[in-house]
Amino acid sequence: MGGHVKVATVGDIPPGKAMSVEVGGEEVALFNLEGTYYAIGDVCTHAGGPLSDGELEGEEVTCPWHGSRFNVCTGEVLSPPAPKGVKSYSVKVEGDDILISPG
């Protein structure tokens, strides 16, 4: 799949919050860090917890199930029990539309 697909508008996600969206059949967590948007895989690599429901602090999100922490800009795992990071997605904002690349 090429290009970016619209998943939300800027009014859908307040600063410091996240939402779950589907992109190319994958669950993606979309974060608003003070007006800059980042997207990573929404499924924790430890036990499948929804990262979009986790607590966001700065550039880190904590999985609500077992406390693994991930960098929302890169998808890198920052603390166990998650064994590895999650995929990071390219995000663009065009006007009020938020678009994510499925590739």
> What value does the mean pLDDT take over residues 14-42?
97
Q: Give the pLDDT of residue 1.
A: 44
Task: Write the pLDDT tens digit of every residue in 37-88.
Answer: 999 999 999 999 999 999 999 999 999 999 999 999 999 999 999 999 999 9
Q: Give the pLDDT of residue 46.
A: 97
Q: Which two tokens stand for residue 46?
A: 């430890």
Identify the structural domains of the chain with CATH numbers, from first to last: 5-100 (2.102.10.10)
SS3 content of the chain, % helix, strand, coil (to 5): 5, 50, 45
Would you place residue 2 in the very low, low, confident or very high pLDDT band (cuts 50, 70, 90)?
low
Q: Give the pLDDT of residue 75.
A: 98
Q: Give the pLDDT of residue 103.
A: 75
Q: Which residues fall within 8 angstroms of residue 56, CB to CB, at 6 or more apart?
A: 16, 17, 18, 31, 33, 72
